[in-house]
Amino acid sequence: RLWITGFSLTKNRGELHTLDVETGAMSYVNEITARAIKWPNEVASIPRQQYVMNHHPTNSSSSTFASSNGEQLEDALLVTDGFLVPGKDKGGLYVVQNPTNSATERRVCLTGVTNLQGDIINGESDWFYHRAVWMDMTGDGRQ
């Protein structure tokens, strides 16, 4: 897939579209994601990895992921957001899981807590991000 970003000085939303290079079909992220990411800069795929979910026997609601021959994580993107332009300077780093899947798409802001409108209400603000690299910080082979 080829990802295309766009932004506007007058609209309160960003544009994240994808083009399937084999079929020519265009898709886009859902409206909630588009309103949260107001000035998308770079879009990068997060590497798929093998994980298996381990449930804790003492706490049924708690679980961890362990590298194994288990199930693969879903498609995900790392999106950098924001610019120096007033009104677009509260950017962030976002993980968009299952992009373009209207039923299961969801986004997570890695740089602060956002409300339903996508405004940062707790954490970092007045920052913008142009590029981010997903990497293995612990040296365990998982990114």
- d(CA 46, CA 97) in angstroms, rounded, equals 10
Read off the pLDDT of residues 91-136 as tens digits, 9 standing for 90 and up. 888 989 888 888 889 888 888 655 555 555 655 556 778 888 878 7
Query: Can you tell me the mean pLDDT for 67-75?
Result: 54
Read off the pLDDT of residues 6-20 as tens digits, 9 standing for 90 and up. 988 888 888 999 999
CA distances from 12 to 35, 81, 91, 123 (A): 6, 13, 13, 21
Q: Are strands 120-123 and 112-114 parallel, antiparallel or unpaired?
A: antiparallel
To which residue do tokens 């590497």 refer? 47
Sheet holding 15-19, edge to edge: 2-6, 15-19, 26-28
Angle at 46 between CA 43 and CA 52, to 5 degrees: 155
- d(CA 51, CA 42) in angstroms, rounded, equals 27
Q: For the whole model, what pTM was predicted?
A: 0.70
